């Protein structure tokens, strides 16, 4: 998250439900601002940025851009930046000045040893910078010759790694823009002219009004890495500044902003972009109405909701065109539910839902709606939730003598407002034992209440009377059902909290040679019964509802 402009930007509170995952580079914290004269450092703005990250328990990254006027020999290209500070694109006249600044920077915020000005009792008193990024949007074309730029970045990387080996060091933040192809050419030239290829992460800045356009630009970024011997499939890639829906001066509607946010986050995730730093919370792509009111604007509400879809979830199928202008991505949510994000870049349309599949959807405003047959989609993604249920069994293992009961609790939980009949069955392996479940079906209902059934399964041993030797190992296993049903009604605490249905399955196993006698079992003559040998069974309970089937298993040891 990038927060505003100026040294006081970090006083801006982040409003719920947005959660800061990591903090981007701080404004007015680069070399020209920190060192306005040689060897004299003013750390206040950067201290505030790092303190904000520490307070939110998130990592902080710091980049660099431009040189102070006193450090360059040619000041003709310098320009006035924020706070009336001169900044220069020319290379430093003495590379050692640059190395000394980087050394002072890392020594103050390093994660190992004692930081500058700290004590052994509080060695990281200044806070820690976790990620360092190279030049923010390399200056091309500019007075900076490629050889000087490569030298600066090489010294940046080696100095940081020497002083703080635990910090991540990323590449410069390269721009990929079809309007300015020279930026992509500069990235390629940087690596071909000796730029480091051992960064911990490779960064880009890409912005486009249509998020789907960015997919080809990311592919171009990856291809430049690949062509220079850096595997884009294994490289860690960050988007360290993106989220402007076209530019800081672009004015679009609330709906367009929400559509952009919902799509760009899913598309970056789909392209294996490990981090996306939003630009910016309080400038350009604003997410709040502060300081007028302490509220999120519609864009901020959308950001918080798409964040809730993604955090803790897994993308099961990459975002892609499903048909014409309809895009979709498959997800498995944090609670185990299957889901699909879907949108239409062309605008409003009807999206058909197969019966017994998606039962509800969530939108970027945080609403939950039920689905019946079809749903209206548009440029803003919605998250369809698959009707499903989950099963669990407890305990994982039991031990019992033959002829006695073993009791397990099988829980069925609705997901995505699942409200269907689930057929139940059980089996015991090896096949020397059999079992049955009663009742044979239950209703799993997540709309407010559930029914719990007590299911008893009794399995008997063979007769204790003498039998002929020929029949000694042909032991019969049969189940006697002892019905017992009890009702338990569960009131869900929250609308989204699924109902849970508990099934108590009691297994009684009375087996002669046991469930797992093994291939070495031999015929036993008539006579005294040998000492019982513990044997192991696997008890499996299966629930089926239409095309959905889940199973849970537990161990049972016979003694």
Nearest C-alpha neighbor of 173 from the set 194, 156, 161:
156
Token pair 């803790």 in the structure block, residue: 312
In DSSP terms, which residues pair with 553 in a beta bridge? 540
Render 113-160 in DSSP notation, one character per residue: SPPTT--SSSTTTT----EEEEEBS---SSS--HHHHHHHHHHHHHHH
373/498 same-domain check: no
The model's pLDDT over 346-401, given as tens digits with 9 standing for 90+, comes to 999 999 998 778 888 999 999 998 887 899 999 999 999 987 788 888 888 888 77
356/454 same-domain check: no
Structural contact between residues 257 and 359, judged by C-beta atoms closer than 8 angstroms: no
Please give the residue that has the higher pLDDT: either 419 or 261: 261
The model's pLDDT over 179-192, given as tens digits with 9 standing for 90+, comes to 889 999 999 999 99
For residue 434, the domain's CATH number is 2.60.40.10
Q: In the prediction, which pLDDT does 273 show?
A: 96
* 56 half-sphere exposure, CB direction, 13 A CA radius: 22
Nearest C-alpha neighbor of 303 from the set 507, 6, 19:
19
Nearest C-alpha neighbor of 63 from the set 164, 198, 169:
169
Compute the 3-state secondary structure of the chain and give helix, strand, coil in percent, each to the nearest 5. Answer: 20, 30, 45
Q: How many domains does the chain fold into?
A: 3
> Among the three residues 311, 345, 375, which one is the final residue of a domain in this structure?
311
| Sign, Cα dihedral of 254, 10, 136, 266 | negative
401/382 same-domain check: no
The model's pLDDT over 95-129, given as tens digits with 9 standing for 90+, comes to 999 999 999 999 999 999 999 999 999 999 999 99
Q: Return the ∠ at Cα 77 (arms to 72 and 83), rounded to 5°.
A: 85
pLDDT band at 504 (very low <50, low <70, confident <90, very high): low
Rounded average pLDDT over 292-302: 94
Integer Cα distance of 187 and 221 in angstroms: 9
Structural domain includes residue 467? no
Question: Residues for the chain: how many in total?
Answer: 559
Rounded average pLDDT over 30-49: 95
Bridge pairing between strands 419-429 and 441-445:
antiparallel
Q: In the prediction, which pLDDT does 507 show?
A: 43
405/547 same-domain check: yes
In DSSP terms, which residues pair with 136 in a beta bridge? 173
Three-state SS for 71?
helix
**Structural domain for 298, as ranges:** 9-311
Q: In the prediction, which pLDDT does 478 show?
A: 35
In DSSP terms, which residues pair with 400 in a beta bridge? 558
82/228 same-domain check: yes
User: How much is the mean pLDDT over the chain?
Assistant: 83
Structural domain includes residue 3? no
Q: In the prediction, which pLDDT does 404 show?
A: 72
405 burial level (CB within 10 Å; 0-12, 13-18, 19+): middle
Structural domain includes residue 169? yes
448/406 same-domain check: yes
For residue 373, the domain's CATH number is 2.60.40.1180
Three-state SS for 541?
strand
Structural domain includes residue 278? yes
250/348 same-domain check: no
Integer Cα distance of 493 and 110 in angstroms: 46
Residue 242 has which token pair?
């993106």
Bridge pairing between strands 314-323 and 273-278:
unpaired
Residue 219 has which token pair?
């592919």
Please give the residue that has the higher pLDDT: either 437 or 83: 83
497/374 same-domain check: no
Token pair 């680069």 in the structure block, residue: 30
Least confident of 164-173, 248-257, 423-432, 484-493: 484-493
Q: Is the pLDDT of residue 313 over 90?
A: yes
The model's pLDDT over 438-469, given as tens digits with 9 standing for 90+, comes to 777 888 876 434 444 444 444 444 333 333 33
Integer Cα distance of 409 and 389 in angstroms: 16
Q: In the prediction, which pLDDT does 407 show?
A: 77
Rounded average pLDDT over 404-433: 78
Structural domain includes residue 520? no
Three-state SS for 271?
coil
103/87 same-domain check: yes
Q: In the prediction, which pLDDT does 485 show?
A: 35
89/155 same-domain check: yes
435/329 same-domain check: no
> Among the three residues 364, 386, 408, which one is the final residue of a domain in this structure?
386
Structural domain includes residue 132? yes
Give, in order, the Cα–Cα distances in Å from 417 to each of 363, 446, 447, 487: 16, 5, 6, 21
> Among the three residues 311, 340, 362, which one is the final residue of a domain in this structure?
311
Q: Which helix (H) or strand (E) holds 48?
A: helix 44-56
Going across the sheet that includes 368-370, the strands are: 314-323, 326-332, 338-344, 382-386, 358-362, 368-370
263/157 same-domain check: yes
Bridge pairing between strands 273-278 and 237-242:
parallel
pTM: 0.76
Give, in order, the Cα–Cα distances in Å from 406 to each of 101, 113, 537, 558: 71, 57, 12, 10
Integer Cα distance of 383 and 363 in angstroms: 6
Nearest C-alpha neighbor of 479 from the set 453, 503, 505, 501:
505
Give, in order, the Cα–Cα distances in Å from 128 to each of 34, 57, 164, 202: 17, 11, 10, 21
Integer Cα distance of 544 and 389 in angstroms: 10
Q: In the prediction, which pLDDT does 244 show?
A: 80
Q: What is the DSSP letter of 24?
A: -
Nearest C-alpha neighbor of 537 from the set 433, 402, 425, 404:
433
pLDDT band at 500 (very low <50, low <70, confident <90, very high): low
For residue 242, the domain's CATH number is 3.20.20.80
Integer Cα distance of 446 and 413 in angstroms: 7
Bridge pairing between strands 131-135 and 168-175:
parallel
In DSSP terms, which residues pair with 40 in a beta bridge? 37
């Amino acid at each position: 998250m990038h927060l505003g402009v100026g040294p006081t930007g970090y006083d801006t509170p982040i409003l719920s439900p947005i959660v800061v995952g990591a903090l981007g580079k701080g404004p007015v914290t680069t070399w020209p601002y920190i060192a306005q004269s040689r060897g004299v450092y003013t750390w206040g703005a950067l201290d505030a940025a790092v303190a904000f990250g520490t307070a939110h328990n998130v990592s902080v990254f710091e980049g660099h851009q431009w040189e102070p006027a006193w450090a360059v020999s040619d000041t003709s290209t310098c320009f006035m930046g924020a706070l009336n500070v001169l900044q220069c694109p020319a290379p430093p006249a003495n590379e050692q000045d640059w190395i000394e600044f980087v050394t002072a920077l890392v020594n103050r915020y390093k994660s190992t040893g004692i930081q500058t000005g700290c004590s052994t009792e509080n060695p990281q008193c200044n806070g820690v910078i976790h990620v360092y990024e190279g030049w923010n949007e390399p200056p091309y074309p500019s007075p900076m010759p490629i050889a000087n730029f490569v030298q600066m970045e090489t010294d940046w990387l080696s100095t940081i790694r020497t002083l703080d080996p635990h910090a991540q060091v990323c590449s410069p933040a390269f721009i990929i823009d079809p309007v300015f192809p020279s930026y992509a050419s500069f990235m390629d030239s940087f690596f071909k002219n000796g730029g480091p290829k051992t960064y911990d992460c490779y960064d880009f800045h890409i912005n486009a009004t249509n998020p789907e356009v960015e997919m080809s630009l990311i592919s171009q970024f990856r291809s430049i890495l690949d062509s220079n011997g850096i595997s884009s499939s294994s490289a860690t890639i960050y988007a360290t500044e993106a989220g402007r829906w076209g530019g800081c001066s672009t004015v679009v509607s609330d709906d367009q902003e929400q559509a952009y946010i919902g799509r760009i986050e899913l598309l970056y995730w789909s392209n294996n972009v490990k981090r996306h730093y939003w630009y910016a919370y309080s400038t350009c792509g604003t997410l709040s109405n502060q300081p007028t009111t302490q509220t999120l604007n519609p864009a901020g509400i959308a950001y918080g909701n798409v964040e809730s879809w993604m955090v803790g979830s897994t993308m099961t199928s990459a975002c892609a065109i499903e048909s014409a202008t309809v895009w979709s991505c498959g997800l498995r949510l944090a609670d185990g539910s299957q889901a699909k994000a879907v949108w239409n870049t062309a605008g409003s349309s009807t999206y058909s839902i197969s019966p017994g599949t998606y039962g509800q959807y969530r939108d970027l405003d945080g609403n939950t709606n039920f689905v019946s047959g079809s749903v209206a989609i548009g440029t803003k993604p919605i998250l369809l939730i698959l009707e499903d249920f989950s099963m669990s069994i407890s305990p994982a293992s039991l031990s019992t003598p033959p002829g006695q009961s073993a009791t397990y609790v099988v829980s069925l939980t609705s997901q995505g407002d699942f409200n269907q009949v689930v057929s139940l069955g059980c089996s015991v392996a090896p096949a020397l034992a059999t079992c049955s479940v009663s009742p044979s079906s239950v209703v799993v209902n997540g709309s407010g209440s559930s029914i719990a059934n007590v299911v008893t399964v009794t399995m008997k041993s063979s007769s204790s009377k003498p039998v002929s030797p020929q029949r000694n190992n042909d032991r019969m296993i049969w189940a006697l059902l002892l019905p017992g049903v009890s009702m338990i009604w569960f009131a869900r605490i929250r609308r989204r909290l699924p109902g849970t249905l508990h099934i108590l399955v009691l297994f009684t196993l009375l087996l002669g040679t046991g469930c797992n006698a093994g291939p070495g079992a031999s015929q036993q003559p008539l006579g005294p019964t040998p000492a019982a040998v513990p044997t192991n069974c696997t008890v499996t309970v299966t629930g089926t509802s239409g095309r959905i089937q889940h199973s849970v298993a537990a161990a049972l040891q016979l003694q």
